[in-house]
Amino acid sequence: MISLAEAPRTTDALRAFRSTIRAFVQTEFEPHQDRWREQRFPDPDAWTKAGAVGMLLSDVPAEYGGGGGTFVHETVVVEELTRAGVPLHSFIHDNVAHYILAYGSEAQKRNWLPRMARGELVGAIAMSEPTAGSDLQGIRTTARRDGDHYVISGSKMFITNGWHAGLVCLVVKTDPKATGPKAISLIMVETRDLPGYRVGRPLEKVGMHAQDTCELFFDNVRVPASNLLGPAEGRGGFQIMEKMNYERLAIGVAAVATAERAVAVTTKYVKERRAFGNALIDFQNTRFKLAECKTEAHIARVFLNDCVERFIAGQLDTFTAAMAKYWLTDCECRIVDQCLQFHGGYGFMADYPIARMWTDSRVHRIYAGSNEILKEMIASSL
Ligand X SMILES: Cc1cc2nc3c(=O)[nH]c(=O)nc-3n(C[C@H](O)[C@H](O)[C@H](O)COP(=O)(O)OP(=O)(O)OC[C@H]3O[C@@H](n4cnc5c(N)ncnc54)[C@H](O)[C@@H]3O)c2cc1C
- CB of residue 243 vs ligand X: minimum separation in angstroms? 13
Footprint on this chain of ligand X (rule: CB under 6 A)? 92, 124-128, 133-134, 158-160, 205, 208, 213, 363, 366-367, 370, 372-373, 376
Q: How far, CA to CA in Å, does 220 sit from each of 4, 115, 223?
A: 47, 26, 10
Number of H helices, E strands in the chain: 11, 9
Q: Which amino acid is at 305?
A: N
Contact (CB, 8 A) for 72 and 17: no
Closest to ligand X by CB, 189 vs 281, is 189
Closest CA to 188 of 241, 115, 134: 115
Buried b (16+ CB within 10 A) or exposed e, 96-114: bbbbbbebbeeebbebbbb
Q: Where are the alpha helices (DSSP H) in the chain?
A: 12-24, 33-39, 45-53, 71-83, 90-103, 106-117, 236-272, 284-312, 318-342, 353-361, 371-379
**Residue 79: is it exposed, middle or buried by C-beta count within 10 angstroms (0-12/13-18/19+)?**
buried
Contact (CB, 8 A) for 366 and 325: no
- CB of residue 10 vs ligand X: minimum separation in angstroms? 31
Active site residue 190: no
Closest to ligand X by CB, 30 vs 372, is 372
Closest to ligand X by CB, 134 vs 295, is 134
Q: Name the residue with the smallest CB distance to ligand X.
A: 133
Exactly one of 74, 247, 260, 332 is catalytic; name it.
247
Closest to ligand X by CB, 213 vs 286, is 213
Closest CA to 344 of 260, 283, 258, 257: 283
- CB of residue 335 vs ligand X: minimum separation in angstroms? 20
- Cα(364)–Cα(258) distance, rounded to whole angstroms? 11
CA angle 360/363/366 to nearest 5° reads: 170
CB proximity list for 303: less than 8 A, separation 6 or greater: 324, 327, 328
Catalytic residues: 247
